[in-house]
Amino acid sequence: TFKLTVSASGSVATGGTVGGLGSITFLAKGSGDLTDATVWGGGVAPSGTFSISIPAGITITISGATLSLKMVRCDVSGTLAVGSGSDTFTFTFPPTIIVRSGGILLDQTTNKVIRFPFNSIIAILSGGGFGATGTVLQIFQGGVVGASFTVTLASGPFTCGMLADGSVQTYNSVTAIAVMSGDFTAAGTFLGGFAPSADICSGGCGIQVIKGVTLSTAGLNGVLNFKITSIAVAIGATFQLGTPGASTGFKFKFPITLSIFGGMSFVCSGGYIMLPPGSEFDISDGGEFSSSISVSIEIFDPLTGLAIGPLQTLGTLISGGTFKLTVSASGSVATGGT
């Protein structure tokens, strides 16, 4: 929401609800162009640093070849249409575009090219759609064309991130990309402020931790209680599991695949790593698991919360080889490695 009040003396006060990265969120009340004040609640067109929300049944159009306004986040349940009448379309500032179930990101450019600066992310959630397969999502930074990806899927889940190193990362899932060291619960940890949450991850999410980043789970207070289906830790990255000093361990409520190419550390002072059936814990060659205490994995029944079978001991260090633990749907465990 947004509110602007002009006093009798002419002074101005503004307010509203916070959107992406400290912006004000503008809620569309009808279809029309982004710059048309009449389509927005409050009768004020977006300006400054802003986010927009497009409800179901509403189409917001961004005409022309370039959006020079600083739209940091766009939450789409209706339709966002870009590039009408232009060969290509360019976002001047990095947006976070989230297309929800029933929503559509519609490419209206002639050449089917949409350009983004570094630190942009597009996430198509399950049931969301991309209006034109074959569109090229391309990095355009400082007037220079960079890496690109051609969309081949018409619907989600799908994520495309434009990283600061110039690479384009894509996933056939809703994936939050940790690009700054910080906590799991902090938006600033993730590319475009696209942090995992129960809302975003209702259909399942993945987490990618890139090189040089340490992702902490201290803010989760010992339990991941929404649907993260995978966490991949790149070479040179670290995943810290648990809250330092806590004696209760860490529990994954939903089945998860942990793929450790870099480092994973257990930072609790006690307790277990608790996994439900259907989970997998995989340390690749060159990856490492470490803990200041000897730690075990406990398999638990999600319905009763009770342990299934014996503990699986990890110890304090797994390094210099590979390790894999797979939990079947019934809770039986298979381990292997080199």
- Quick check: is 65 in a domain? no
- Reported as a pLDDT band with limits 50, 70 and 90, residue 20 is low
Q: Taking a C-beta distance cutoff of 8 angstroms, is the pair 187, 23 a contact?
A: no
- Reported as a pLDDT band with limits 50, 70 and 90, residue 13 is very low
- Reported as a pLDDT band with limits 50, 70 and 90, residue 22 is low
Give residue-wise pLDDT tens across range 167-205.
Answer: 999 999 999 999 999 999 999 999 999 999 999 999 999
Q: Taking a C-beta distance cutoff of 8 angstroms, is the pair 81, 62 a contact?
A: yes
Tell me the residue length of the chain: 338
16-20, 85-89, 306-310: segment of lowest average pLDDT:
16-20
Which comes out higher in pLDDT, residue 155 or 17? 155
Sheet of strand 104-107: strand arrangement: 32-33, 59-62, 79-82, 104-107, 129-130
- Give yes or no for residue 5 having a pLDDT over 80: no
User: How big is the chain by its Cα radius of gyration, in Å?
Assistant: 22
Domain that holds residue 336: 173-338
- Quick check: is 139 in a domain? no
- Quick check: is 302 in a domain? yes
In sequence order, which residues have a C-beta less than 8 Å from that of residue 296 and are 6 or more positions away? 272, 273, 311, 312, 313, 314
- Reported as a pLDDT band with limits 50, 70 and 90, residue 2 is very low
- Give yes or no for residue 82 having a pLDDT over 70: yes
Residue 132's pLDDT is 76
Q: What percent of the chain clears pLDDT 70, i.e. is strictly above it? A: 93
The mean pLDDT of 283-299, rounded to a whole number, is 96
Residue 206, Cβ neighbours under 10 Å: how many? 23
- Reported as a pLDDT band with limits 50, 70 and 90, residue 15 is very low
Number of domains into which the chain is organized: 1
- Quick check: is 307 in a domain? yes
Q: What is the DSSP string of 192-221?
A: GG----TTTTTT-EEEEE-TT-EEE-GGGT
Residue 17's pLDDT is 37
- Give yes or no for residue 10 having a pLDDT over 70: no
- Quick check: is 168 in a domain? no
The mean pLDDT of 63-87, rounded to a whole number, is 96
From residue 306, give the alpha-carbon distance in Å to each of 34, 198, 226, 296, 302. Answer: 53, 24, 19, 16, 8
Residue for token digits 């384009």? 168
Q: Taking a C-beta distance cutoff of 8 angstroms, is the pair 95, 76 a contact?
A: no
- Quick check: is 291 in a domain? yes
- Quick check: is 211 in a domain? yes
CA pair distance 77, 56, nearest whole angstrom? 5
- Quick check: is 19 in a domain? no
- Which residue, among 328, 217, 210, has the nearest Cα to 278 in the 3D structure? 328
Q: Taking a C-beta distance cutoff of 8 angstroms, is the pair 181, 215 a contact?
A: yes
Q: Taking a C-beta distance cutoff of 8 angstroms, is the pair 90, 58 a contact?
A: no
Give residue-wise pLDDT tens across range 124-177.
Answer: 999 999 987 899 999 999 999 999 999 998 899 999 999 999 999 999 999 999
The mean pLDDT of 235-258, rounded to a whole number, is 97
